[in-house]
Every structure is written in C-alpha cells, then in structure tokens.
Amino acid sequence: MLNESYAECLIKKKPPGPAPLIKILLAVGLLITAGSILLFGLAGFIAFAAMCAFAYHTIQNLNVEYEYLLVDKIFSVDRILNKMRRKKAAEYTLEDIQVIAPENSGRIREYDNQVKKVSDYTSGDAGAVRYAFIYTKSGAGEKVLFEPDDKMLRCIKQMAPRKMFEN
C-alpha cells in the first residue's frame, strides 16, 4: 500500500506492416550507395553517408516502445527508440485532466468538439484495451490515447476518483 501513488507500464508499439520490406530496401540502398563510392568518388561517399544516416533513423523508428509513468499526480510518457534511446514524449498533471475513460466511451466523445490535438501513445494493436483522457492546459484541448495496465488504472482511480471512468 506504500507505493500506491506510483505506477509504470511499458507498451511495445506494433511495427508497421511493411517493416521487413523497409529493412530490405534500406540494405539494398546501402549496397548501391556503397558501390557508388567507386564510381563517383567524393559524391558517392556523401551519398553513402546520407544513406547510412537515413537508414539509422528509419530503423530506430521501426522499434518503438512507450513507457507510462504515474508519480504524485503527474502522468508522463517516454518514447523508447530501438530499446536504446529514451525521449520524454509528454507530461500531464492530473489536475488539468478533465476525464479518463475508455477510448470509445460517451464521456470522451462529449469533448470531441473541444479537442484540437490527438496524441496516440498506444501499441497500434486492434485488440488492446485503449483508454483516453482529455487534457486542457491554457484553453487548448488534447485527447491522449494510451493503454494502461490494471495497476495503473487502480492508481489513477485512487488519485483522481471523480475523473476516472471504466465504462
């Protein structure tokens, strides 16, 4: 009961459908640009370096995980790229959240006309249980989609019982 104000959850984002094809095309592109070094010299080397940078960033973005962290009424989302690099995606305070409910519930749909931005931090799996919350800070409405586990849902309900709905 001591750590009830803390919850974390890690969600692996489903890679896009053509991910293996993208990797093959990147490998072919790297081979072609590596061969262009022999034909074009410095220009070929520059093309190869650019292709290496492009391939590196593309492959990192194919393997994404989201970590949700709820500590002391602050909900933060970190984006983990290729299990190596962590970037803070967003941070939300429970005081500025209007409602938390399943994504397709009527309570979330009530706010659809106030939402200016939608942030999707889900796995992309159609069978996953997705929740949403409406975050309003300085008048701008944001709909945030996420996939909490049971512990996180209990923790949110304990911290903000009037904002949390499970139906």
Over the stretch 38-59, which tens digit does the pLDDT of each residue have? 999 999 999 999 999 999 999 8
- Res 4: pLDDT: 57
Q: Is residue 103 part of a domain?
A: no
Q: Is residue 67 part of a domain?
A: no
How many Å apart are CA 50 and CA 67, to the nearest integer? 31
Q: Which domain holds residue 35?
A: 19-62
- Res 126: pLDDT: 86
How many Å apart are CA 9 and CA 88, to the nearest integer? 15
Q: Which three-class secondary structure state does DSSP give residue 150?
A: helix
Cα–Cα nearest to 153, from 101, 112, 93: 101
- Res 1: pLDDT: 45
Q: Is residue 51 part of a domain?
A: yes
**pTM of the full predicted structure?**
0.80
Q: Is residue 45 part of a domain?
A: yes
Q: Is residue 72 part of a domain?
A: no
- Res 144: pLDDT: 96
- Res 74: pLDDT: 93
Are the CB atoms for 49 and 60 separated by under 8 Å? no
Question: Total domain count for the chain?
Answer: 1
Widest distance between CA atoms in the chain: 68
Q: Is residue 2 within a helix (H) or strand (E), and if so which, with residue range?
A: none
- Res 16: pLDDT: 80
Q: Is residue 49 part of a domain?
A: yes
93-135 confidence digits (pLDDT tens):
999 999 999 999 999 999 888 889 999 999 998 889 999 999 9
Are the CB atoms for 70 and 7 separated by under 8 Å? yes
Q: Is residue 158 part of a domain?
A: no
What is the arithmetic mean of pLDDT over 15-28?
A: 90
Q: Is residue 165 part of a domain?
A: no
